Amino acid sequence: MRRLHPLSAVRRVAVAAVQGAFFAFFVGTALAGAADIPGWVVPLLAPAGGVLAAAFALARYYRFRYDIEGDTLAVESGVFARQSREIPLGRIQNVDTKQGVVNRLLGLSVVAFETAGGSATEATLDAVDESEADRLRRLVQRQDRRTEERDDSAAERGDVAAAAADESATPTDTDSARTATRVDEPTEELFAFTWRDLLTYAVVSVRPAAPALTLAGLPLGGDLVAAVFRFNLAVLGSDAAPSLSLLETFGPPRLVALVLLTLAEFLLTALVVSVVLTVVEYHDFRLFREGDDLRYQRGLLRRYSGTIPLSKVQTVTIRENVLMRRFGYATLVVETAGYSGGNDQSSQGVAVPMAPRETVYELARDIEPFGDLSFERPPTRARRRYAIRFAIAVGVLTVAGYAVDRFLLETGYWWALLAFLALVPPAAHLRWRHRGFALDDDVLATRAGFWRRTTRVAPYYRIQTVFVGRSPFQRRRHLATVTADTASTASVFGGSAAAYDVDDERATELRNTLRSRLYADLLSRKRDAETATSGSADQ
């Protein structure tokens, strides 16, 4: 069996030695007084801890071995508790590689293998050289093609025992040569980010983590925060030093203006942080097609690369926020049955971060063919339901505003929040307008969301379950939600294809239609596979 690259051992040992030394030193310092340890012993704990941690890291390196034996990835690990795992290559959904700054300098890559239904990455090789990472990726691709050929052959023969024997057999040289030829097909670049595209995407797609990171970084820039606060006070006509007593003399109007000005500056800073994060993550984004697989690469400091097998795609998702729709852009997300444990879920499966809407739909149809989608909206009584919900939200906001004004501001203008009631009708209309579903010959498409509109395209043959749900409020208006679950990661996190607030009778009809089309699509695909296999046998 193979071991990881020797340089990965050097890196692990060095990191472990530093961490062990720091840990031993601080623990020794903390316990010196309580355990009555002599002072001269404490400095000796640091090198001792470093040596122990380095030895353990070296032992882990020598105990970790892997290899691909036939159609199985075998991994052995563990120093005290030994673990041995065998992962069928045909079960692997995604092969992702990433390079941190240090690994890029050393020419190493971390390879992660993900299978369907797991709660974490099934196996991680940290780390191998780039040529070995590419070899492993191609071996998994090759096995995917063998599996498809065996399935077609078994379907044509109708011999389950023969299919099982083929699955366990070692590939012959002829099989390897044929599949190697298919895997080594020319790589086609489908999409690439220019700097203009990248900066545009960074501006129009605000990352949710940016405000949190900005808030967490405020204590680190205390002097800068104080300078900005003094600037805000000067804008409002005060040159005094910031203090609580000064704020008490400001009066409600100037205090509200100070809060709004500070909030605007905070949001602007968060936008800058979001732009930086997006540029770092999606720098030099490229999408390639290798036979029946998509492969992407991206990253400025940390380099990521991943493979998306088209044969294992569960759903295709198109996302458009308000700014994207205004300028005609969209994001394409391809979701498989793999689970990306520990990875950034916001970027998982992103085939195209941003491109013109027509380009995104063209790529989506190339991955999963479908025609022009004509969406059926919910009945108009659903719009009244949305209006009531928004009106209740305004009422709660007004009550909260009254409490704040009554006990803190004392302006007497808490009732001004009722002005938001004027936004209730257009908000309800926009939610109703951007919801719906469409039935194509081969796919179910659902759409929802105004600020971030999401269109999910689920092939009938990928649907696992179809169920109709009715909340107490939906039952009052004879509405229901029809959800079509697939094996995609989005379904695990509640992102299934769902048709919201469908008429009750229409929901039952839609469920029955999806069932019948699922069975019809599966039978049609089986007949096509048998025809193609019999045609090949005749030749």
What are the residue ranges spanned by the domains of the chain? 195-282, 380-431
pLDDT at res. 144: 64
pLDDT at res. 417: 92
pLDDT at res. 8: 92
pLDDT in tens, 137-187: 888 877 766 655 555 555 445 444 444 444 444 444 444 444 444 445 568
Q: H or E stretch including 98? A: strand 92-99
DSSP letter for each residue of 458-476: EEGGG--EEEEE--HHHHH
pLDDT at res. 232: 79
Q: Return the HEC string of 289-338.
A: EECCEEEEEECCCCEEEEEEEHHHEEEEEEEEEHHHHHHCEEEEEEEECE
| Model-wide pTM > 0.75 | yes
- The sheet that has 350-356: what strands, in order across it? 350-356, 329-336, 313-321, 452-459, 443-448, 436-439
| SS3 assignment, position 286 | strand
Count of Cβ atoms closer than 10 Å to residue 345 Cβ: 12
pLDDT at res. 535: 60
Residues of the chain with pLDDT under 70: 32-40, 116-121, 144-186, 239-252, 338-349, 488-494, 528-530, 532-539
Task: Please name every residue paired with 448 in a beta bridge, in sequence order, or none if there are none.
Answer: 454
Task: Please name every residue paired with 456 in a beta bridge, in sequence order, or none if there are none.
Answer: 317, 446
Cα 487 to Cα 535: distance, rounded to the nearest angstrom: 32
